[in-house]
Amino acid sequence: LELYDLRVAEMCQQTAAHTGAVYSVAQAPDLKSFVSCSSDKHLRFFDITFTTGGTDSAKFEEVVDKAVELPDECLSVVYAPNGKWIAVALLNHTIQMMFADTLKFYISLYGHRLPVMAVDISSDSQIIASGSADKNVKLWSTQFGNCHRSLRAHDDSVMQVRFLPGTHYLATAGRDRELKLWDCDTYELISALKGHSSEILSLALSQDAAFLVTASGDRQLRFWRRSGEQVFLSEERARELDEKFEQEVEREDVDAAGGRAGGDVVSLRPSRRTVESVRTTERLMEILDEATATEAGEDVVLPMDAHRNPCVRVVAYVNTLTSNNIYEVLLALPFAHALRLLSFICRFFEVVAKLPGAGGAEGSGDSADDAKARVLSAAATLETPCQAALIATYVHHHELAATPSARGLLIRLREQMRQLLQVEKDRI
């Protein structure tokens, strides 16, 4: 055990208090003593004495004949704020509580499946929180020792638990590199904070809980300040679901790439499927369905651009795709919708080819559909629709080859694309 003077950053005292590693110390509520726990299966108690005069100093001495032997190695120790109990987390998966004055056994809390790494007691001495290597945080009653709730807190071992002073809010830190804040009255997760690149090993709070400090295996100390902004749990849950879905989407992408070569990834696509690309695909499918229903004369609720020709509306949405997501969007598009998309693009090219300067007719006798297409083509380029047609054909080439009705569509599409792209090349 070492005692430091923070004013001058010097060590004041060093004592070999245990025969094994010292895992935790806890200060008594009266601030005049503290207790330490170790792998030597002992609790040892120390009194702190302060000297005043020319140089203020402090030192600690072990209380004679007050050591307590425990049934297993102790990993964490804490005093109840009311000074009535001491709680000790043990390697044998239990939390042992004893009376602080007599050191007699009070109750034993069991339920964790792996060693208990950390323990803390709320400011009103009503709730005990324990964090374990089994990834769970358990909330216990100090009166009867019953377990209020077991929370799956982290994706790896829970290393630290700390109650915010004067509240039932609990901060937890784990080997999954996350710091989480919980409401122990409603048993809900308030927020999850990320920033460390390695496991979080220690957690400390300021006296007024204005900020928290975490220490990690990445050799960093991070300060987390309390924000004045309101936190809406529904928004937090929605954000967490989006993050989880994106992780699952990316994992499916990697698994699919690896599965084609017997587990060895030869090459990966330059882009990855994301939540945004999945949503864009769903929106493209909706637009294709609406356009098809409109042409069939069915009653359908359309958006504000319902006055547009269905073919023009489809191509307008295709033009909103970017080089970063167009491949992923069309890769997830079902074959039936891909066939509709090729049909709409082909018809759009046929109309554009009739426009003045496009290598076709002058368009003096254009229909209303032709006029609407001219309005769009004036601002749109051919690059994205052509790229979309090529990607859709490449992705579904096996299905297209086995579909006789698609042959004529592909021939028409090839002729129109060649004509329009040649005109564009000549213009450049």
Reported as a single tens digit per residue, the pLDDT across 344-396 is 999 888 888 877 655 544 444 555 555 544 444 433 568 889 999 999 999 99
What are the structural domain ranges in the chain? 2-229, 232-265, 275-427
DSSP state of 263: T
Model confidence, pTM:
0.61
Band of residue 304 on the pLDDT scale cut at 50, 70, 90: very low
φ/ψ region of 29 (left if φ > 0, alpha if ψ in -120 to 50, else beta) reads: alpha
Report the b/e string of 176-200 with b at 16+ CB within 10 A: bbbbbbbebeeeebeebeeebeebb
How many CA atoms within 13 Å lie on the side-chain side of 39? 6
* CATH fold of the domain at 2-229: Methylamine Dehydrogenase; Chain H (2.130.10)
Residues 118-158: pLDDT tens digits? 999 999 999 999 999 999 999 999 998 999 999 999 999 99
**By percentage, how much of the chain surpasses pLDDT 70?**
84
User: What pLDDT, on the 0 to 100 scale, is given for residue 309?
Assistant: 79
